[in-house]
Structure 1
Amino acid sequence: MTLTLYVPGAGVVHRLPAGVKLLALVVLAVALFALPSVTAAAAALAGVVAVGLLVARLPAAVLTRQARAVVWWLLVLLLVHAVTTDLRTGTHVALRLLTLVLAAAVVTATTRVSEMVRVVERLCAPLRLVGVRPARVGLAIAMALRFIPVLVERADRIRAAQAARGGTARGVRALRTTVAPLLVQVLQMAHDVSEALDARGADDDPPPRRRSPEVP
């Protein structure tokens, strides 16, 4: 398994600047929540899939993997809305969320992490006035994106190890037996990364710049 979300390519979507793709993702999110129509949400979903498969030429597995990751949450949303409101509303909410998940998958699969981090750092530059360090924000986002495939691989390893030992748990029990050891590994990774960052002085304040003496 490749521990990255980026899928190399030379298509038009890959060549677009990271800022343009992130802006398109924001516009899509606003449009999805501004248009109260199931038909519009379904059309947006079809458009995102078409862009991912036909324009960006991503492997179908990239999108199906993301869809499988959220399918249970979408089913829960459908069930909750079917009980509390109506099935049409639940379908609309599920379509909007699935569209955003797949759109985000297309963006991350066609954009290098370093490019997205640079965009975020530029956007956060004005926040220096209130004490926010853009480099730290970029580091946090980069680490989050890097750890997503790592966590997926760890979860797959845990399930494979349980299956090799004859584990046949299903449903909620299978989820519990996977989440518990995965949580332990996540906490250990977080501790190791924290120590590594501390050792490199990532949390230290930068030294103040010295002013050069004025020449009369």
Structure 2
Amino acid sequence: MIGFAVPGTSVLHRMRPGVKLALLAVTVTVVAVLRDPVWLAVAFALACALVPLARLPLREAARQVAPVLWLLAVAVPVHAFFGTWTDAAAMALRILTAVTLAAVFTMTTRVEALLDTVQAALRRVPWIDAERVGLVLALTIRCVPLLAAIVRDVLDARRARGAGGSLRAIAVPVIVRSLRTADAFGEALVARGYDD
């Protein structure tokens, strides 16, 4: 779900990352407490309207939101079975709105700018090492697409060999390659003096 920033000059692109992050937090909090599906549908429509406002490619924005649809395909019927369809619709709209807002945020904000903003805010707290927290955040953000690439490479290799897709046959090489990557990250950090 971590998207890459799409270059642009829209109002959302020009807005400071700290302001956008604060607005995202407030908006998602408001959406989380809303109960009426009608108001949630309005919130979702407004979140969708941010995509053309920011001049983002519709296909790329849809790709950011699409993975959550698989979750909702299972969660909505289960929620309706144990509750009501109204509650299930409210839950689905709440999740779709939050994910859409997060996608717009990540597509209009460079990761470097966001990390700089977080570090600047953390420097005001004397007992937090802002540089190390920034490094951890940067590594976390970098590792998500890296892990996805490892899984994709393993699946491609299995397909090329005509092998089946059992969970163990996929999980073992993914885990081994992930551990090797983690070791390489660790060695790089030790070489730069982050060994404590």
RMSD in angstroms over aligned alpha carbons? Answer: 2.4
Trace 1:199-214 onto structure 2 (pairs within 5 A): 199-204=191-196
Shift of 1:106: 1.2
Matched, 1:117 2:109: no
Matched, 1:193 2:169: no
Cα distance change of structure 1 residues 160 and 110 upon mapping to structure 2, 3 Å threshold: same
Cα distance change of structure 1 residues 9 and 179 upon mapping to structure 2, 3 Å threshold: farther
Match of 2:42 in 1: 43
Match of 1:210 in 2: none
Shift of 1:121: 1.4
SS of 2:28's equivalent in the other structure is helix
1:202 and 1:76 map into 2 onto residues whose CA distance is: 43
Match of 2:176 in 1: 184
Match of 1:211 in 2: none
Aligned partners of 1:62 and 1:105 also within 8 Å: no
Residues 33-92 of structure 1, C-alpha deviation per residue, up to 9 Å, x if partnerless? 12212122222222222212x111112232222222222222232133123222322221
Match of 2:161 in 1: 165
SS of 1:202's equivalent in the other structure is coil
Q: Out of 71, 85, 88, which is 1:87 matched to?
A: 85
For structure 1, list consecutive stretches of 5 or more residues without a partner in the other structure.
205-216
Which structure: larger Rg?
Answer: 1
Give the length in aligned residue pairs: 195
1:66 and 1:167 map into 2 onto residues whose CA distance is: 30
Structure 2-normalised TM-score? 0.85
Q: Out of 128, 136, 143, which is 2:139 matched to?
A: 143
1:42 and 1:179 map into 2 onto residues whose CA distance is: 39
Match of 1:31 in 2: 30
Cα distance change of structure 1 residues 203 and 49 upon mapping to structure 2, 3 Å threshold: farther
Residues 166-209 of structure 1, C-alpha deviation per residue, up to 9 Å, x if partnerless? 3565xxx5x665555333333322222122112211255xxxxx
Q: Which amino acid aligns with 2:152?
A: D
Structure 1-normalised TM-score? 0.78
Shift of 1:17: 0.6
Cα distance change of structure 1 residues 45 and 177 upon mapping to structure 2, 3 Å threshold: farther
Match of 1:214 in 2: none
Residues 75-121 of structure 1, C-alpha deviation per residue, up to 9 Å, x if partnerless? 23213312322232222122212221221111111111111112111
For structure 2, list consecutive stretches of 5 or more residues without a partner in the other structure.
none
Cα distance change of structure 1 residues 60 and 138 upon mapping to structure 2, 3 Å threshold: same
Q: Which amino acid aligns with 2:21?
A: L
SS of 1:58's equivalent in the other structure is coil
Match of 1:55 in 2: 53
Shift of 1:143: 2.0
Aligned partners of 1:13 and 1:56 also within 8 Å: yes
1:110 and 1:24 map into 2 onto residues whose CA distance is: 14
Cα distance change of structure 1 residues 182 and 105 upon mapping to structure 2, 3 Å threshold: farther
